[in-house]
Chain A
Amino acid sequence: MIELTGIERDFAVGDETVHALSQVSLSLPDGDYVSVMGPSGSGKSTLLNVLGLLDRPNAGSYRLDGVETTDLPEERRAALRRNHIGFVFQAFHLVPRLSAADNIGLPMVLAGVAPDARKARVHEVLDSLDLLDRAHHRPDQLSGGQRQRVAIGRAIVMKPGVLLADEPTGNLDQHAGGEVVGLLERLNGAGITLIVVTHDPAIGRRARRRIRMVDGRIESDESGDAHT
């Protein structure tokens, strides 16, 4: 359960102050499927960073599963990221020198999970992503779609409640993009809260709940089946 109340995020650009987010309030129940759209500079990426605990709002309250996160120390926020939030990036951000399996296992390495448990879980994830035959390939030996699937595997390996995807299909062709969206929706179907930031209206429309942002504010917030 994600609850944002009166979130403000300002950046100083030169002498001016840019309000990347102003008065954003949002409540997302578990298992929700939300798309965030809007023009460049509308604050959708900043919103995603705040939701992912990578960025701290200047004002307002952000409760994740009932825990107020805005005043937590860095270490606690890192722990929440590790256990509750998965990230999928447009540029994949795989570690080039690690194999697909090691990239997927990286969050568990950072969390200090024992090698045996790690291996079993990575195998499980690779299996569910249909990537078992690519386990020992390095990212530069994988196609774009496969890379993003590895990145998604990494995002879910710690079994988080929330999956944040920032333009997940931005670097992919139509076919690979469709596969990735399908995979994300399958994960959402299994209960994970999915939040997708995208430019692509075709992908944005697929979400059950569609948020449109302009100038750091939520302009519209529609729920229900997509209207074409």
Chain B
Amino acid sequence: MRVVMRTPDLLSFALRSLGGARTRTLLMLLAMSIGVASVVLLTALGEGARRYVVGEFAQLGTHLLIMLPGRSETTGGAPPLLGATPRDLTLDDAMALLRERSILRVAPLTVGNAPVSYGSREREVTVIGATADFFPIRHLTIGSGSSLPALDPGRGASVVVIGSGLRRELFGSQRALGQWVRIDDRRFRVIGILGEGGESLGQDLDDMAVIPVASAQVVFDTPSLFRVLIQARSEDDIERAKKAAREIIRERHDGEDDVTIISQDALLSTFDRILGALTYTVGGIAAISLAVAGILIMNVMLVAVSQRVAEIGLLKALGAPERQVLRLFLVESVMLAAAGAALGVLIAVAGIFVLREVFPTFPIAAPLWATPAAVGVAIVTGLVFGVLPARRAARLDPVHALSGR
């Protein structure tokens, strides 16, 4: 004949004891809610960062493959920064890629830093040697003037498209279009200005100059390309384009497989993984505050037990077995933890709302797992840290408890 208190009675008894000690209850709710709110908020920030980067990559261009000279030994990793280049990647290599049907556009790139001057003003900026196709591949817009002419890539031309920031710095309020600037002792005519607000992956597009790739090879005195951007015809064509591009280059390089092709997806998934791990880490750190809240719960429940010694003795005298006293106190701490968690989720939701209002461009959002995980951990914490006080209450000697000693 084991007695079990009815669940509603159990809950209402616990609720009334919590209501009987308001200050203590509120403090514990506060501690627990801060813990839960920080887990949800911090992971939301991490998730926001991840979404931000993913968005940036999407801006970089669609169905994009990037070919660089040198063979990367590791697969799916970062491109080799100091990789030996056995054979140059040439313009002809790049143009040969267009043979493949699944490849829509190709943009051979040569990149370097060079001083750009107009009159007495001079700026050291990133100069990109490219072709006309570079602009649609990278989703770059022309603010005024025109893009690079669609020439034979092998032929140079003394024209330049500059970023809007560079235009401001060199020309101020003067008209830039049609003027001649010097890039490393060669003269180029400004034929176009890039649209405003181009920034991607930390590279400030406002501050660069784009000239035909053949001209850039002369300026930087290099026959090799820095990169070849390849745009596949569609999502489904990416893999085929990648394979075909590798095949074409191998053919042209005497069977030597000496280029690295990274797809944007691979790069993206790397960043995705890194930022995902970061989110977990931040969530884990925030979870420490949950553990602190748990210790607080234990502490306050221990105080509660010593304050309610007479009551516990009474419950025992009235026929409550140890198990029942244990359960009563456990229910109290779990209820506290659960209520604190609910409060914390509310705080987090409000916080995310405010952050969204303040930073509308930052895509902050709690990952799906964060809220249930935080609430779950909070309740488990309440249970675990509630055990010690509850056991102390259950083992109390009723004779001593009732005598008030």
* Cross-chain contact A75 with B321 (CB below 8 angstroms): yes
* Cross-chain contact A112 with B399 (CB below 8 angstroms): no
Residues of B contacting A111 with CB < 8 Å?
3, 319
Would A112 and B317 be within 8 Å (CB), given that A93-B402, A95-B311, A97-B17 are in contact?
no
Complex Cα–Cα for A10 and B314 (A): 23
* Cross-chain contact B319 with A82 (CB below 8 angstroms): yes
* Cross-chain contact B321 with A107 (CB below 8 angstroms): no
Residue among B9, B17, B404 with max Cβ neighbours from chain A (10 Å): B9
Residues of B contacting A91 with CB < 8 Å?
310, 404
Would A112 and B4 be within 8 Å (CB), given that A54-B399, A95-B314 are in contact?
yes
Residues of B contacting A52 with CB < 8 Å?
317
* Cross-chain contact B20 with A97 (CB below 8 angstroms): yes
B82 in the interface, Cβ–Cβ < 8 Å?
Answer: no
Complex Cα–Cα for A95 and B324 (A): 17
Residue of B nearest to A50 (CB): B399
* Cross-chain contact A81 with B318 (CB below 8 angstroms): yes
Residues of B contacting A93 with CB < 8 Å?
310-311, 313-314, 402
Distance in Å: Cβ of A138 to nearest Cβ of chain B: 11
* Cross-chain contact A110 with B2 (CB below 8 angstroms): no
Residues of B contacting A78 with CB < 8 Å?
316, 319-322, 324
Residues of A contacting B175 with CB < 8 Å?
none
Would A96 and B20 be within 8 Å (CB), given that A54-B399, A79-B3, A89-B402 are in contact?
yes
Tally of chain B residues near chain A (CB < 8 A): 31
Residues of A contacting B322 with CB < 8 Å?
74-75, 78
Residue among B311, B318, B398 with max Cβ neighbours from chain A (10 Å): B318
Complex Cα–Cα for A81 and B17 (A): 24
* Cross-chain contact A54 with B316 (CB below 8 angstroms): yes
* Cross-chain contact B5 with A97 (CB below 8 angstroms): no
Would A97 and B16 be within 8 Å (CB), given that A79-B319, A82-B319, A154-B318 are in contact?
yes
B121 in the interface, Cβ–Cβ < 8 Å?
Answer: no
* Cross-chain contact B319 with A97 (CB below 8 angstroms): no
Q: Tell me the total A-B contact number using a CB cutoff of 8 A.
A: 79
Q: Which of B1-59 contact A (CB under 8 A)?
A: 1-6, 9, 13, 16-17, 19-20
* Cross-chain contact A110 with B315 (CB below 8 angstroms): yes
Complex Cα–Cα for A136 and B313 (A): 24
Residues of B contacting A74 with CB < 8 Å?
321-322
Residues of B contacting A82 with CB < 8 Å?
3, 318-320
Would A109 and B321 be within 8 Å (CB), given that A95-B314, A97-B16 are in contact?
no
A83 in the interface, Cβ–Cβ < 8 Å?
Answer: yes
Residues of B contacting A110 with CB < 8 Å?
3, 5, 315, 318-320, 324
Complex Cα–Cα for A93 and B318 (A): 11
Residue of A nearest to B398 (CB): A54
* Cross-chain contact A75 with B316 (CB below 8 angstroms): no
Distance in Å: Cβ of B8 to nearest Cβ of chain A: 8
Residues of B contacting A83 with CB < 8 Å?
319
Residues of B contacting A45 with CB < 8 Å?
403
Residues of A contacting B402 with CB < 8 Å?
54, 89, 93
Complex Cα–Cα for A91 and B322 (A): 23
A69 in the interface, Cβ–Cβ < 8 Å?
Answer: no
A98 in the interface, Cβ–Cβ < 8 Å?
Answer: yes
Q: Which of A88-138 contact B (CB under 8 A)?
A: 89, 91, 93, 95-98, 106-107, 109-112, 114-115
Distance in Å: Cβ of B329 to nearest Cβ of chain A: 14
* Cross-chain contact A109 with B314 (CB below 8 angstroms): no
* Cross-chain contact B16 with A98 (CB below 8 angstroms): yes
Distance in Å: Cβ of A105 to nearest Cβ of chain B: 10
A-B pairs with beta carbons under 8 Å apart, 5 shown: A54-B402, A87-B318, A98-B16, A110-B3, A158-B319
Q: Which 9 A-B pairs have the closest CB atoms?
A: A82-B319, A78-B321, A97-B20, A81-B319, A107-B318, A75-B321, A93-B314, A54-B398, A109-B9
Other A-B contacts than A75-B322, A112-B5, 12 sampled, CB-CB below 8 A, are: A54-B316, A54-B398, A55-B399, A78-B324, A79-B3, A81-B316, A91-B310, A93-B311, A107-B319, A110-B3, A110-B315, A112-B9
Q: Hey, which bits of chain B sit against chain A, CB under 8 A? A: 1-6, 9, 13, 16-17, 19-20, 310-311, 313-324, 398-399, 402-404
